[in-house]
Amino acid sequence: TVLIVDFGSQVTQLIARRVREAGVYCEIVPFQSAEEGFKRLKPKAVILSGSPASTLDIGSPRAPSVIFESGLPVFGICYGQQTMCAQLGGKVESGHHREFGRAFLEVEKDCALFDGLWSLGSRHQVWMSHGDRVTALPEGFEVVATSSNAPFAFIADETRKYYAVQFHPEVVHTPDGAKLISNFVHKIAGIKGDWTMSAYRAKAVEAIRKQVGGKKVICALSGGVDSSVAALLIHEAVGDQLTCILVDHGLMRKDEAANVVAMFQEHYNLHLLHIDASDRFIGELEGVSDPETKRKIIGRLFIEVFEEEAKKLGGADFLAQGTLYPDVIESVSFTGGPSVTIKSHHNVGGLPERMNMQLVEPLRELFKDEVRVLGRELGLPESFIGRHPFPGPGLAIRCPGGISREKLEILREADAIYLDEIRKAGLYDAIWQAFAVLLPVQTVGVMGDGRTYEFVCALRAVTSVDGMTADFYHYDMEFLGRAATRIINEVRGINRVVYDVTSKPPGTIEWE
Ligand code: XMP
C-alpha cells in the first residue's frame, strides 16, 4: 500500500490513479488524519500532494512526523516538496517568478528515480503550478534536475529515499510523470505491482461472503454501470441471497427496462424484480412543473416503492450500493462555508437508516474506470460498461414543464433516434453524455402541404471528465442536420430541432 497525504490539491486523485495504474494499491488520507491513516494502512511508501496553501502561512498543514521517522521512501509533489523542505531543515520563500504551465527540466545528475527513463543531460516537459519555491535544501538533499525558473525543480536524498518535485508528475501534461510515479513505487519502494482487477474480484468476493454470511441482500438496480457491477459482484459472492429490484418509474429511455431485465435475468440468472410503478410516478408528477418539486416527488416515491417491495420479500439485512471511492474520500477544504444546492440529486441515500439495514458497498475502493475494468472482468457487455451517465429522475427532468405519458413517449422516440445517429457516426465514446430534451413550446412548421404546430426538441451533448464542468460537443453541422431531419420525419409531435451550445458553468448538463 501507498499512503497519499492530501493537502487539498485539485489533482490529488490523479496521483492515486497513477499509483493504481502501476498496479499498486493506495489510499488518499487528508493531512488532518494522516497519522491515523499511516498507522492503519501500514504503507510501504508515502506521497505528499500539492495544495492551494502556502507553507509560509501560519498554521499551514504539515506532514505528520511519523512519516519521516519511519524510514520509508517519501515523494513530495509541489506543496509536498515545500513542506518536506520546511520540515526537514530547508527553506521556502514566496516565488518572485510564479510559474504556471509548461516548463522544461534538464537532468543534472543521475538519480535512481530516473532509472530506465531519463538520462544525464536530457530535457523533459513537465507541468508547473506554484507560487512558492524552495530556496535552500535540507541536509542530505541534492538537485537532480532544474528548469530555468526553478533551480530546485527536482531534488533527492537518495540515502533516505526522499524525492521531491516542484512540478506535477500526476497530470497528463507531464508526459513522463506516470513513469516517474511508477518508478517510485516499484524501483524505489520495491512494491510489487499485483493490484489487478482479477485479484480485486477474488478479494471482494471473499469480503462480501464474510460480511453477509447466510443473510439476505437487496439492491436497487438501475442498469447504470455502478449498480450493475456491484450487483454482479455480490451475486458472484452470495448467489440467490441477493435480490435486485428495478424500480421502473416510467421515466427510463426507450427499451431500457427490458434490456436491463433481459441482460441480468437471462445472462446472469440473477434474481431480479422488475416493478412497473409508472402509473404511480406519472400520476403524482402530472401537472407539476417546478424542477425541484419533480425531483423530490421522484426521490420520495422511489424510496416508498423500494421499501414496499423489500417488505414483500420479507425484508433483508443488507442493502447493496454502488458507492465509489471518489464519494468516500474525505475532502480537504480551505474555503469552508456552506455550498448551495443547485439540484437535489436523487439516489437511495436515507434508505439504510429508514429500513434499518447495513450497507454492502463492494466498489468503495474503486475509481470509475476501475469499475469498468471490473465489469469487463465479470463479463458485463460493452454496451453496459461504456454507457453515458443517466440521471435518477430520468426523462422527467428532460421534459421541462409538466410531464405526461404522451410527452414522455415523444421524447423517448426522439432520444432513441438521436443516440442511434451518434452511434452510427462513431461518436458515442467521444461524448460524455448526450440526450434529447422536449421543450414545452410549440412552433409553426410546414410539412407536405400542411401547416404543423408541434413541439421543439433540443439536443444536448457534452464533453466532461467528471460532470462537474462540461463543454458542449462541437458536432459538424452535417451530423446535426441528419439527426434533426430524422427526428422531425420520424417522430410525431416534433417539428423543430435546436442544439444547445451552453457549457457548464454557467449552464448545467441537464435542463432541470
Ligand atoms: P447537472 O445537470 O447537475 O448534471 O450538470 C451533472 C451530472 O449528474 C447527472 N444528474 C443526476 N444523476 N441523480 C443522478 O444520479 C440525479 O438526480 C441527477 N441529476 C443530474 C446528470 O445527468 C449529469 O451526468
Tens of pLDDT, residue by residue over 356-398, are 889 999 999 898 989 999 999 999 999 999 999 999 999 999 9
What is the number of the ligand 1 atom nearest to the C-alpha of 346? 17
Task: Examine the pLDDT at 343 and tell me if it is beyond 90.
Answer: no
Tell me if residue 457 is catalytic: no
Q: What is the mean pLDDT of residues 10-21?
A: 92
Query: Which among 434, 395, 399, 442 is positioned nearest to 418, based on CA atoms?
Result: 434
Tell me if residue 35 is catalytic: no
- For position 269, what pLDDT does the model report? 94
Residues 6 or more apart whose Cβ sits within 8 Å of residue 102: 125, 126, 127, 128, 173
- Ligand 1 centre from 468 Cα, in Å? 10
What is the number of the ligand 1 atom nearest to the C-alpha of 345? 17
Query: Which among 146, 117, 126 is positioned nearest to 134, based on CA atoms?
Result: 146
Tracing cell 444547445 back to the chain, one arrives at 500
Burial string for 363-382 (b: 16+ CB within 10 Å, else e) reads bbbbbeebbbbbbbbbebee
- Ligand 1 centre from 223 Cα, in Å? 15
Active-site annotation holder among 26, 27, 78, 124: 78
- For position 134, what pLDDT does the model report? 93
Active-site annotation holder among 27, 99, 170, 309: 170
| End-to-end alpha carbon distance in the chain | 42
- Rounded to the nearest angstrom, the gap between the alpha carbon of residue 97 and the centroid of all alpha carbons in its chain is 35
Q: Which of 228, 292, 295, 343 to mutate to test the pocket of ligand 1 (most atoms within 8 A of CB)?
A: 343
- Ligand 1 centre from 394 Cα, in Å? 9
Tell me if residue 170 is catalytic: yes
- Ligand 1 centre from 510 Cα, in Å? 7
Specify whether the CB–CB gap between 299 and 341 falls below 8 A: no
Task: Examine the pLDDT at 97 and tell me if it is beyond 90.
Answer: no
- Ligand 1 centre from 497 Cα, in Å? 23
What is the number of the ligand 1 atom nearest to the C-alpha of 388? 24
By alpha-carbon position, which residue is closest to atom 20 of ligand 1? 391
- Ligand 1 centre from 354 Cα, in Å? 24
| pLDDT per position as a tens digit, 214-238 | 999 999 999 999 999 999 999 999 9
**Residue 52 one-letter amino acid:** P
Beta strands 2-6 and 26-30 are: parallel
Residues 6 or more apart whose Cβ sits within 8 Å of residue 130: 50, 78, 79, 95, 98, 99, 100, 166
From CA 273, how far away is CA 437, in angstroms rounded?
29
By alpha-carbon position, which residue is closest to atom 14 of ligand 1? 391
**Residue 230 one-letter amino acid:** A
Q: What is the mean pLDDT of residues 484-493?
A: 98
Specify whether the CB–CB gap between 282 and 321 falls below 8 A: no
Residues 6 or more apart whose Cβ sits within 8 Å of residue 347: 392
What is the number of the ligand 1 atom nearest to the C-alpha of 464? 24
The upper half-sphere exposure of residue 209, i.e. CA atoms within 13 Å in the direction of its Cβ, equals 10
**Residue 107 one-letter amino acid:** V
By alpha-carbon position, which residue is closest to atom 21 of ligand 1? 391
Query: Which is higher by pLDDT, 136 or 350?
Result: 136
- For position 342, what pLDDT does the model report? 75
62: left (phi over 0), alpha (psi -120 to 50) or beta: beta
Confidence of residue 346 (pLDDT cuts 50, 70, 90): low
Task: Examine the pLDDT at 341 and tell me if it is beyond 80.
Answer: no
- For position 130, what pLDDT does the model report? 75
Q: Which regions of 268-394 does DSSP assign to beta strands (E)? A: 272-276, 318-320, 358-360
| pLDDT per position as a tens digit, 391-432 | 999 999 999 999 999 999 999 999 999 999 999 999 999 999
Q: Which of 345, 460, 511 to mutate to test the pocket of ligand 1 (most atoms within 8 A of CB)?
A: 345
Query: Which among 293, 197, 316 is positioned nearest to 245, based on CA atoms?
Result: 316
From CA 212, how far away is CA 387, in angstroms rounded?
30
Set of cell numbers at residue 457 = 426538441
Query: Which among 194, 193, 156 is positioned nearest to 178, based on CA atoms?
Result: 193
Beta strands 242-248 and 358-360 are: unpaired
Residues 6 or more apart whose Cβ sits within 8 Å of residue 442: 453, 454, 455, 456
From CA 294, how far away is CA 286, in angstroms rounded?
10
- Ligand 1 centre from 346 Cα, in Å? 9
Residues 6 or more apart whose Cβ sits within 8 Å of residue 258: none
Active-site annotation holder among 124, 168, 249, 346: 168
- For position 466, what pLDDT does the model report? 82
By alpha-carbon position, which residue is closest to atom 7 of ligand 1? 467
- Rounded to the nearest angstrom, the gap between the alpha carbon of residue 368 and the centroid of all alpha carbons in its chain is 5
pTM of the model: 0.85
**Is the ipTM here above 0.95?**
yes
What is the number of the ligand 1 atom nearest to the C-alpha of 389? 24
Task: Examine the pLDDT at 213 and tell me if it is beyond 60.
Answer: yes
From CA 215, how far away is CA 320, in angstroms rounded?
13
By alpha-carbon position, which residue is closest to atom 22 of ligand 1? 391
By alpha-carbon position, which residue is closest to atom 12 of ligand 1? 391
- For position 336, what pLDDT does the model report? 45
- Ligand 1 centre from 343 Cα, in Å? 8
Query: Which among 324, 322, 323 is positioned nearest to 366, based on CA atoms?
Result: 324
- For position 334, what pLDDT does the model report? 65
Helix (H, G, I), strand (E, B) or coil at 471: strand
Q: Kindly list the protein residues whose Cβ atom lies closer than 6 A to any atom of ligand 1.
A: 343, 345-347, 389, 391-393, 433, 467, 504, 508-510
- For position 101, what pLDDT does the model report? 87
| pLDDT per position as a tens digit, 169-180 | 999 899 999 999
